[in-house]
Amino acid sequence: MNKWMITVASWEYRFLGGFQKSVDKFQPDSVLLYFYREYATWSAPNRSKVLSLCNKKGIKLEQYELSFTDHPGSWRVLFNTIAGLQFNEQRVLVDITTMPRETIWTIFDLLESRSIKVQYVYNEPSKYNNKWLTRDPGEPRLVYKLSGEVKMGMPTKILILTGYDVDRIRHLIQFFEPQCVFLGLQTGDQLSNQLMNVKKTKEAFSREQNYKWFDVNAYENDRGFKTIKKELSQHLKGSNIVLSSLGPKLSAIALYNLHKLYPQTCLTYTPSNEFNRRYSSGLGRSHEGFL
Question: Is residue 111 located within the same domain as residue 218?
Answer: no
Are 11 and 121 within one domain? yes
Quick one: pLDDT at residue 177? 96
Task: Kindly report whether the global pTM for this prediction surpasses the value 0.85.
Answer: yes
Number of domains in the chain: 2
pLDDT more than 70, % of the chain: 99
Q: What are phi and psi of 65, to 5 degrees?
A: -95, 135
Domain co-membership, 48 together with 98: yes
102 and 150 co-located in one domain: no
Alpha-carbon distances, residue 231 vs 46, 63, 153 (angstroms): 41, 40, 23
User: How far apart, in whole angstroms, are the C-alpha atoms of residue 251 and residue 157?
Assistant: 19
Asked if residue 264 and residue 207 are part of one domain, the reply reads yes
User: Among 183, 174, 281, 171, which Cα is nearest to 227's?
Assistant: 183
Both 145 and 263 in a single domain?
yes
Beta 272-275 vs 134-137: how paired, if at all?
antiparallel
Q: What is the percent of the chain with per-residue pLDDT over 90, rounded to a whole number? A: 91
Q: Are residues 214 and 270 in the same domain?
A: yes
Co-location of 43 and 138 in the same domain:
no
Domain of residue 190 covers: 134-275
Average pLDDT on 30-39 reads 97
Residue 48, domain CATH: 3.40.50.11700
Q: CATH number, domain at 208?
A: 3.40.50
For residue 1, the model assigns a pLDDT of 62
Which of residues 1 and 225 earns the better pLDDT score?
225
The per-residue pLDDT for range 52-83, each reduced to its tens digit, is 999 999 999 999 999 999 999 999 999 999 98
Quick one: 227 and 253 in the same domain? yes
Amino acid identity for residue 150 in this structure: V
Residue 102 has a pLDDT of: 98
Asked if 245 and 102 touch (Cβ cutoff 8 Å), the reply is no
Q: Same structural domain for residues 140 and 270?
A: yes
104 and 43 assigned to the same domain: yes
Domain identity same for 150 and 266: yes
Q: Tell me whether residue 250 is exposed, middle or buried, using C-beta atoms within 10 angstroms of its C-beta: 0 to 12, 13 to 18, 19 or more.
A: buried
pLDDT (0 to 100) of residue 7: 98
Return the pLDDT at 88.
Answer: 67
Is it the case that residue 85 has pLDDT exceeding 90? no
pLDDT exceeds 90 at position 151: no
The Cα 70–Cα 204 span in angstroms is 32
